[in-house]
């Protein structure tokens, strides 16, 4: 890089620090301000923050690898989660905001009763907020190190020094500014990251070696440009993503609602729930989540996909382990001075937005749902804010140590989906069925870990394994549910008065509370979900058709998008938005 590139990167870091200092005073008022921005986030900031968090530094590399292996259709391995994302938008975003809690783990004690509820809250706090969190942060650190090493080709130990330095900076501004600072820097970092990715796509695709969109089409086989996988029982060595009917059905019909996966939890959860609970009100919560889903699935991937296609032309000899690095090599080889610094800053932005959220969200679980709930209950808000800041730094230090022991996580996403298979149905039904209790959720979390090792010895591999794990887990947690006592009437009544989700599966409780105005129009929410899914995919494919100059198909997808928006808007205008307490 030239001097101008280094100056751009330095300017980016300085600006991030300034934002943190500006918002430090707000974060120090209370834990509500530190973890939830005082429940006062407008929908556009909450939505952009969700998008920025899911834009990890290695995400463009992952998309590049998917495109290299299976063409554009390879992205269906993650596009399928849009079904669950839209379910969260229309069925759960309002409920999370209405709950008035600080974390997803806290939900256990407003919905369930007794010792099982307390155990579930404490267990989720440590398992997700600490154990899973430090592994995710360690993997993100390792991915960022690989990116910088591919970009600059310097010694890995020196690269780790730079990555650790960036993480220390993130931990400091997260500890100082809380969620307000994290969200504002997320917005800044997202626009930097997207601007850099768009500029890279334009430059690389229009280079003389590629020759624009026409050059891509002439130099690559037709299958690469297929938007949909091939449904076939005959395996293909190369070509578009090919799946058997049952494999495709597992992705489209099972994974998105049955399996727990960070950032795509059925019914919302984790840092997505944190942003929903931080919104100004129910309407802001819903629109923030809708903005996230549309941007995440339909807008953001195309600059990555285009660079991935160009990398197939530019670097045809990359091995399977190197295909994702085609994105980095394109940055290295085609960006002029100034723009190269912007792209490096963009990758740091993607990295830092993810780390900042993981630190703040993980700390919220540790402080609110373990330390404050079980160890030290009667301290002042200033004490808990200080404890949160210290915990943020400690979480960062532990994650740095964990990073040193991570070499490679191959197939981790499939393992996580398999070991969370069947949990999703409980996470959805706990809002809409009174009979779900804490033991239901505990059993659903444990059951896949019992079934998975046995299944591995049979040779049944992912995604076919879901056809056994999901029914098996569902049978176990349903059996446990009916063999254990239901949640106490007092807790059920309190929950329903506060959340009033409506529906026939709450009839036992709602019939005793005629004064509570329950939610109605669940059928309209289902219609909104259906057209929300259509909106995302029509927007996604329509944008692709526009890029590739297929204007007739573009106008068809565009018309479908417009019709979907009109139907969703009309249905939402009929919803009675509930007033919630900040």
pLDDT (tens digit per residue) in 259-276:
887 778 888 888 899 999
Distance CA 474, CA 440 (A): 10
CB 203 within 8 A of CB 334: yes
Beta-bridge partner residues of 242: 230
Question: Residue 383: pLDDT band by 50, 70, 90 thresholds?
Answer: very high
Distance CA 181, CA 243 (A): 44
**pLDDT value of residue 239:** 58
CA atoms within 13 A of residue 396's CA, in its CB half-sphere: 26
At CA 204, angle to CA 199 and CA 207, rounded to 5? 125
CA distances from 32 to 29, 36, 46, 106 (A): 8, 5, 16, 14
User: Which residues constitute the domain of residue 214?
Assistant: 3-246+279-409
Residue 131 located in a structural domain:
yes
Has residue 20 got a pLDDT over 50? yes
Residues 502, 504, 506, 510: is their CA dihedral positive or negative?
A: positive
**pLDDT value of residue 409:** 47
Residue 23 located in a structural domain:
yes
Of the candidates 472, 82, 410, the one whose C-alpha atom is nearest the C-alpha of residue 251 is 82
Distance CA 124, CA 138 (A): 20
Residue 133 located in a structural domain:
yes
Of the candidates 341, 340, 342, the one whose C-alpha atom is nearest the C-alpha of residue 332 is 340
Distance CA 62, CA 192 (A): 20
| 130 DSSP 8-state letter | I
Residue 478 located in a structural domain:
no
Terminal CA-CA length for the chain: 48
Residue 130 CB neighbour total at 10 angstroms: 18
Residues 209, 213, 214, 216: is their CA dihedral positive or negative?
A: positive
CB 200 within 8 A of CB 307: yes
Residue 406 CB neighbour total at 10 angstroms: 15
pLDDT (mean) for 280-292? 94
**pLDDT value of residue 412:** 56
Distance CA 518, CA 56 (A): 39
Residue 506 located in a structural domain:
no
CA atoms within 13 A of residue 148's CA, in its CB half-sphere: 25
Q: Mapping DSSP to helix (H, G, I), strand (E, B) and coil, where does residue 231 land?
A: strand
Residues 6, 11, 16, 21: is their CA dihedral positive or negative?
A: positive
Question: Residue 578: pLDDT band by 50, 70, 90 thresholds?
Answer: low
CB 330 within 8 A of CB 70: no
Q: Which residue has the tokens 């670097």?
A: 315
Upstream peptide bond of 346 is cis (omega within 30 degrees of 0): no
Has residue 410 got a pLDDT over 70? no
pLDDT (mean) for 408-424? 69
Of the candidates 554, 561, 543, 50, the one whose C-alpha atom is nearest the C-alpha of residue 298 is 543
Q: What tens digit of pLDDT does each residue of 60-113 get?
A: 888 998 898 888 998 988 898 999 999 999 999 999 999 999 999 999 999 999
Residue 430 located in a structural domain:
no
Distance CA 8, CA 5 (A): 5
CB 366 within 8 A of CB 391: yes
Look up the CATH number of the domain holding residue 360.
1.20.1730.10
* Mean pLDDT, rounded, of the chain: 87
Residue 8 located in a structural domain:
yes
| Count of structural domains within the chain | 1
> Which pTM value belongs to this model?
0.90
Residue 328 located in a structural domain:
yes
Share of the chain above pLDDT 70, in %: 95
* Tokens read off for 171: 């931990």
């Amino acid at each position: 890089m030239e001097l101008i590139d280094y100056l751009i990167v330095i300017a980016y870091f300085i600006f991030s620090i300034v934002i943190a200092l500006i918002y430090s005073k707000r974060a120090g008022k209370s834990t509500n301000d530190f973890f939830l921005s005082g429940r006062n986030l407008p929908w556009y900031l909450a939505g952009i923050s969700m998008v920025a968090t899911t834009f990890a530094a290695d995400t463009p590399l992952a998309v590049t690898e998917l495109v290299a292996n299976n063409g554009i259709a390879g992205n269906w391995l993650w596009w399928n989660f849009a079904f669950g994302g839209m379910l969260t938008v229309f069925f759960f975003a309002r409920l999370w905001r209405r709950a008035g809690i600080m974390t997803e783990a806290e939900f256990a004690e407003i919905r369930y009763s007794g010792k099982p509820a307390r155990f579930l809250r404490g267990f989720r706090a440590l398992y997700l907020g600490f154990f899973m969190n430090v592994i995710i942060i360690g993997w993100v650190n390792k991915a960022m190190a690989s990116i910088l090493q591919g970009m600059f080709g310097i010694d890995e130990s020196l690269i780790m020094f730079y990555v650790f330095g960036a993480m220390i900076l993130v931990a400091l501004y997260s500890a100082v500014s809380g969620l307000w600072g994290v969200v504002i820097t997320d917005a800044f970092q997202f626009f930097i990251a997207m601007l850099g990715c768009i500029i890279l796509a334009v430059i690389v695709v229009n280079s003389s070696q590629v020759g624009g969109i026409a050059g891509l089409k002439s130099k690559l086989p037709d299958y690469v440009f297929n938007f949909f996988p091939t449904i076939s029982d005959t395996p293909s060595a190369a070509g578009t993503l090919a799946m058997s009917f049952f494999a495709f059905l597992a992705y489209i019909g099972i994974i998105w609602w049955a399996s727990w996966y960070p950032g795509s939890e059925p019914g919302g959860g984790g840092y997505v729930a944190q942003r929903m609970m931080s919104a100004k009100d129910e309407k802001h919560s819903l629109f923030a989540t809708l903005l996230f889903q549309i941007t995440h699935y339909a807008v953001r991937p195309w600059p990555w996909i285009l660079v991935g296609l160009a990398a197939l032309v530019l670097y045809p000899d990359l091995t399977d382990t190197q295909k994702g690095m085609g994105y980095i090599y394109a940055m290295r080889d085609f960006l002029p001075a100034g723009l190269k610094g912007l792209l490096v800053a963009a990758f740091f932005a993607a990295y830092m937005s993810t780390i900042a959220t993981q630190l703040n969200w993980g700390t919220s679980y540790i402080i609110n749902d373990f330390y404050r709930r079980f160890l030290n209950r009667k301290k002042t808000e200033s004490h808990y804010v200080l404890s949160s800041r210290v915990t943020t730094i400690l979480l960062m230090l532990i994650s740095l140590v964990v990073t040193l022991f991570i070499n490679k996580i191959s197939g981790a996403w499939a393992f996580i989906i398999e070991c969370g298979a069947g949990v999703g149905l409980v996470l959805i039904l706990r809002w809409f069925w009174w009979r779900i209790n804490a033991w239901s959720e505990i059993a659903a979390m444990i059951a896949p870990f019992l079934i998975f090792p046995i299944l591995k010895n049979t040779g049944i591999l992912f995604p076919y394994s879901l056809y056994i794990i999901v029914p098996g887990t569902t049978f176990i947690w349903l059996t446990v549910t009916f063999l254990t006592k239901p949640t106490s009437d007092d807790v059920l009544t309190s929950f329903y008065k506060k959340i009033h989700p409506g529906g026939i599966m709450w009839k036992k409780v709602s019939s005793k509370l005629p004064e509570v105005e329950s939610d109605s129009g669940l059928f309209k929410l289902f219609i909104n979900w259906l057209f929300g899914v259509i909106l995302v995919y029509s927007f996604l494919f329509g944008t692709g058709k526009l890029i590739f100059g297929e204007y007739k198909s573009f106008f068809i997808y565009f018309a479908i998008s417009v019709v979907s928006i009109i139907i969703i808007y009309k249905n939402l205008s009929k919803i009675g938005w509930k007033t919630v307490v900040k």
